[in-house]
Amino acid sequence: MREFTVPPLATAPRVGGLADIVYEHAEADPGRVALARKDDEGNWQNVTAGQFRDEVLALAKGLLAQGVRFGDRIGIMSRTCYEWTLFDFALWSIGVQSVPLYPTSSAEQVFWMLHNADVSACLVEHEDHAMTIGSVIDRLPHLRKLWQLDGDPVAELTAAGAHIDDDVVHRHRMAVTPDATATIIYTSGTTGRPKGCLITHANFMAESDNMVLRYEKVFHSKPGDEAATLLFLPLAHVFGRMVQVAAIRGRVKLGHQPELAARALLPDLQSLQPTFILAVPYIFEKVFAAARRRAEADGKVAPFDKAVEIAVRYAEAQENKAFGIGSGPSASLRMQHQLFDKLVYSKVRSAMGGRVRHAMSGGSAMERRLGLFFAGAGVRIFEGYGLTESTAAATANPPERTRFGTVGTPVPGTTVHIAEDGEVWLYGGQVFHGYHNDPKATDAVLHDGWFSTGDLGALDEDGYLTITGRKKEILVTSGGKTVSPVGLEERVRAHPLVAQCIVVGNDRPFIAALVTLDPEAVTHWLAMRDKPEMPPTDLVRDPDLETEIRRAVVAANTLVSQAESIRTFRILAHQFSEEHGLLTPSLKLKRKAIETAYSVEVDALYGT
């Protein structure tokens, strides 16, 4: 199949902007719990729709009082937090565009984005961010104001705007149109300088409203309960931003968590108890790996692995039934599944707060077997696909017919087309309006409303999309063999000890790989084998460890022909990091940067 369309469920808006929903919800049901935020003691406190509207309105007045004007652009450099959402809707209330910056951005990256977007003021989280901006402030003559979240700018701005009449804000709000730019989100920049994607109010509405209408029933743990989610994705990323907007528009109670680390995230999942979460595969991989390590430490790894097998078989049987090629789980399989639900699966669900029954995953591909395991364990994960330029999801697996290992069918209102060269093209209300101040780059990817993604993929007979790689990442060996590295890398990463894998081989005689290790998994692996802790440089030469990683490589090679297989690999002592310029803020590999940084190791793989 070359093209597949799913009709829209939501009507395209003709008037208004994103902030309107805050005022409409408060008017309709001011006492409904809309958000949750932590107090000074770390306890969750509910925020009603009426309270949120009042805070947004007061902050909007304060921004006007301090000289922010309709059409201005305001930067936000912070981790995910309640105040970011508050500022977003206050800015949208007065027709201002927000420009998110990753909190880990370098001074030069910050300069480029603030300069390119002509930002006039900026909100930062703390002193370190302020110093980063301060180091380039002499090259930003239009930057007039800097607010610091740890200095409580909300209280300062609320006081400053107390004298302004509410109607002043409402007049600004009524002037906002759907086709106005809501935000400029800069791409991660895996292949060069970040480009600013112009995302309109209508883009967010088309994306979020269609997703809410399609998936609302799975936001709940059980029919009739209060839908709630914990947002821990970066709000600087389009995925996190879409979750924020969709939760507010879809009446889903929204909490914020600034850290992806398990030590911070898991306690908040326990205390907030979301009914639905949206995450990247990394989170689900971590939950699974931690559960297996606990089982191994308790001497119960064999029963755990059996439980995984049963969960996968159970989910596959359900999948086959949904597609009309099976009768569902057998009586014997159902009995075994019921047994392991008490012993294993309930504990996995408990690690995510206990109420999560559905989740959505995006940002990168999830291995099919992992998705099947979670579905069999009682948490169905709907894998999707999208880009900044498509305002997050363009495809997602439908709840009633999930095809694991694919990124699903087009979300309502979207068409997916596969070009002659295999490139994925997208069309729909969520497709962006172009790159800020870069008409050449815009013309290269937008063609009469169609967005050429740069990703390679295929549609099956039911309209399910599978992503096979990126056009710019295809390797061509010196023998002329073309290889897509993504599938190989994902399969190697499926091994518990592996943190990252990059496949190399462009203009080389064969394919090879660099592999990094997961420190927690390695510590556990050493303890279970009574091996002493050792420096990373010694660890990577351990023959038993090399044997383990070789198993992962052999497993990956079963996916491809001999000519495409990984012939050799090198275990590295340290992970690729964003701090060293080897990962994007969304944790994607910067391939050229990695190959340059590890040129000696790559050459050694080929004996040069």
Instruction: Give the tens place of pLDDT for each residue, 520-560.
Output: 999 999 999 999 998 988 899 999 999 999 999 999 999 88
22 CB-side CA count, 13 A? 26
* Domain segments of the chain as ranges: 18-176+226-274, 277-470, 474-605
Q: Pull the structure tokens for residue 378.
A: 């009682």
Dihedral sign computed on CA atoms, order 573, 577, 582, 586? positive
CA distance 437 to 118: 11
Q: How far apart are CA 114 and CA 122, in angstroms?
A: 9
Q: Which two tokens stand for residue 494?
A: 């499926």
18-176+226-274: CATH topology: Rossmann fold (3.40.50)
CA 284, CA 482: separation in Å to the nearest integer? 31
Q: What angle do CA 411, 414, 415 make, to 5 degrees?
A: 120
Q: How confident is the model at residue 192 (pLDDT cuts 50, 70, 90)?
A: low
C-alpha to C-alpha distance for 569 and 601, rounded to whole angstroms:
10
Percent of the chain past pLDDT 70, that is, above it, reads: 99
Domain 474-605 has CATH 3.30.70.1560: no
For residue range 227-243, what is the model confidence (pLDDT) as tens digits?
999 999 999 999 999 99
pLDDT tens, residue by residue, 54-96: 999 999 999 999 999 999 999 999 999 999 999 999 999 999 9
Paired residues of 14 in beta bridges: none
Question: What CATH class has 277-470?
Answer: mainly beta
Helix ranges restricted to H, 117-183: 127-134, 153-160, 166-174
Residue 326 in this model has a pLDDT that exceeds 90: yes
350: pLDDT strictly greater than 90: yes
CA proximity to 128, closest of 103, 153, 95, 160: 103
